[in-house]
Amino acid sequence: MPRYGIAVDTTKCIGCHACRVACQNQNELDFNQTFNSIAEVERGKFPSYAKEFAPLQCNHCEDAPCQRVCPTGAIYTTPEGVVYVHRNRCVGCKYCIEACPYKVRIVDHHKGIVIKCWLCIDLIREGKEPACVTTCPNQVRIFGDLDDPNSRISRFIAEHRAQPLRPDLNTRPKIFYKRS
Amino acid sequence: MPEGAWGWLIISYLFLAGAGAGAFVAAVACDLLAPDWSKALARAGSLAAGPLVAIGTACLVLDLEAGLWEPWRQMFLVSNPTSMISWGVVILSVFIPVALLYAAALNNISFVGQYLQKYVWHLEVIGTPLAIATAIYTGILIAVVNGVPFWNTPMMPVLFLASAISTGLAVAMIGAALIDITTIRTLSNFALGHVIFLTFEGIVLMLLFFMSLTRSGEAATSAQILISGMLSPYFWALVVVLGILVPFALSVVEYYEYGEMPKHLVVGADLCVLIGGMSLRALIIFSGSPPQILT
């Protein structure tokens, strides 16, 4: 079974929010809810000043803190490595929101459950790529199998030494970032 | 102020469960230690314990969404042994009935109470570890959350246990004053409990802050929000002065002026402890900052 992940090249991101809108469209979310957001980081001192756009989404951690704290066992990892919330099991206690160090989980007040990026698993299973990946005008995101050393994502991670965010938290995320 | 998923319902639960568990421990202590002419504190504490924890648990359930609308989903709540909520559900569902039975036995309520008169000692032996587990569990619930570094420390359950016992003692003392005001001498004896546990709570709180300030950037941010930042007026006024220093001083006086202190000051000290306990939990929840993801 493949182990899917995404590599993000923040040096290419222009902060257009197309991925956010595509995600909202794909997952039929409210205008103020999204599974991915774009953080803006500014650093440096004039004249060497830089602004970075960093798209954030569920990191599909292999040792997911949300999965560990979920009392109902609603959070599980699919064979493809996608951390998934079982919508008929979640009670909406929001413990996972507190436990997630990346703070990418939201409450769906219509269904009363916690929702988050599920890597568009329905599209993946049809052999397609997640909506945020295909919609990006600058191809910031690269989707693929992390276990296949010849996949585009594995070569990208190796070439640019892409790292997950906060690897020191030991959650072993599957979203890798190439940052300036 | 960082935005969290938990609000006043969870804070109320943390406070009520702690106070209820503490009241149980205070009741057991009074039943075993106090002379026979003065059992009002044990009766009041036992009467308060079960209902307080039950109301707290109701707050916890009200905070659920799908689990509230479709209650059968709560069946799943015990299905993950690595989740503290699963453990909590088990602890609470055993502790609440035991606490209610203990109240019935000590206060001789209905035929259940009369039947249980012989088993008071058994209920104390079973109930005390459960009460302590309830109090510690409220701290562990947030201590295992590594999404909030300020909470993620073993000091947290210790702090919550200390606070639970002092708030529980305060509940029992207020209740005892309501049931039988002539029991003021017993209250003076138990003021020593306040002195001990408020001192302990103060020391643990101090250690928590010293460690948080050096442990990690995010824990330091949370600690600074409380010490000198946006929430600092509430922290210093409600937790440190009103919640610890004032009742500490009053309890010392109360203990030495054995039975002579004005009654409203005795009850006032206990109300201060309760305000401090509630504020402590609210401020800890509201000051929790997530890790800095992008550095």
Whether residue B69 lies within 8 A of chain A, CB to CB, comes out as yes
Q: How far is CA A98 from CA A112, B12, B25, B180, in A?
A: 16, 17, 30, 44
Whats the size of chain A, residue-wise?
180
Q: A65 and B147 in contact by Cβ < 8 A?
A: yes
Answer yes or no: pTM beyond 0.90: yes
ipTM, interface predicted TM-score of the complex: 0.89
Q: B67 and A39 in contact by Cβ < 8 A?
A: no
User: Percent of chain B scored above 70 by pLDDT?
Assistant: 97
- CA-CA distance, B18 to B10, in Å (whole number)? 12
Exposed/middle/buried for B245, CB within 10 Å: 0-12, 13-18, 19+? middle
* DSSP code, position A81: S
Q: Strand, coil or helix: what is B295? A: coil
Whether residue B202 lies within 8 A of chain A, CB to CB, comes out as no
Q: How far is CA B246 from CA B242, B249, B250, B254, B273, in A?
A: 5, 5, 6, 12, 9
Confidence (pLDDT) at B27: 93
Contacts of A169 in chain B (CB under 8 A): 146, 291
Confidence (pLDDT) at B2: 57
Confidence (pLDDT) at B118: 85
User: Percent of chain B scored above 90 by pLDDT?
Assistant: 63
Q: Which of A11, A52, A59, A72 to mutate to test the interface with B (most CBs of B within 10 A)?
A: A72
Q: A93 and B63 in contact by Cβ < 8 A?
A: yes
Q: State the count of interchain CB pairs (< 8 A) between A and B.
A: 111
Tens digits of residue pLDDT in B3-53: 678 889 999 999 999 999 999 999 999 888 877 767 888 899 999 999 999
- CA-CA distance, B172 to B21, in Å (whole number)? 11
Tens digits of residue pLDDT in B174-200: 998 888 766 667 777 788 889 999 999
* Cβ count within 10 A of residue A174: 22
Of A91, A111, A113, the CB nearest to B77: A91
Interface list for chain A against chain B, based on CB atoms closer than 8 Å:
39, 41, 52, 54, 56, 65, 68-74, 88-95, 97-103, 107, 109, 111-113, 165-166, 169
Nearest chain A CA: its distance from B130 CA (Å): 20
Contacts of B294 in chain A (CB under 8 A): 39, 41, 52, 54, 165
Q: B146 and A74 in contact by Cβ < 8 A?
A: no
Of A52, A92, A102, the CB nearest to B293: A102
When pLDDT is cut at 50, 70 and 90, the band that residue B249 belongs to is very high
Of A65, A70, A100, the CB nearest to B80: A70
**DSSP element (H, E) containing B83:** none
Mean predicted lDDT score pLDDT of chain B: 90
Of B70, B85, B293, the CB nearest to A93: B85
Whether residue B216 lies within 8 A of chain A, CB to CB, comes out as no
Minimal-distance CA residue of chain A relative to B70: A91
Q: Strand, coil or helix: what is B158? A: helix
Q: B5 and A107 in contact by Cβ < 8 A?
A: yes
- Contact by Cβ (8 Å): B26, B45: yes
Q: A112 and B65 in contact by Cβ < 8 A?
A: yes
Beta-bridge partner residues of A108: A113
Residue carrying the six token digits 């559900």: B89
Q: A71 and B77 in contact by Cβ < 8 A?
A: yes
When pLDDT is cut at 50, 70 and 90, the band that residue B1 belongs to is very low
Minimal-distance CA residue of chain A relative to B6: A94
- Contact by Cβ (8 Å): B59, B19: no
Average pLDDT across each block of 10 residues of chain A; the chain has 180 residues. List them in order.
Answer: 93 94 93 91 89 94 94 93 92 92 91 93 93 94 94 94 92 92
When pLDDT is cut at 50, 70 and 90, the band that residue B103 belongs to is very high
* DSSP code, position A37: E
Confidence (pLDDT) at B191: 86
**DSSP element (H, E) containing A83:** strand A83-85
Confidence (pLDDT) at B275: 96
Confidence (pLDDT) at B54: 96
Q: Which of A91, A111, A179 to mutate to test the interface with B (most CBs of B within 10 A)?
A: A91
Confidence (pLDDT) at B3: 65
- Contact by Cβ (8 Å): B199, B244: no
Task: Among B34-38, B124-128, B161-165, name the one with the lowest average pLDDT.
Answer: B34-38
Q: A100 and B144 in contact by Cβ < 8 A?
A: no
- CA-CA distance, A35 to A108, in Å (whole number)? 11
Contacts of A91 in chain B (CB under 8 A): 64-68, 73-74, 76-77
Q: Can you read off the two tokens belonging to residue B62? A: 């009200």
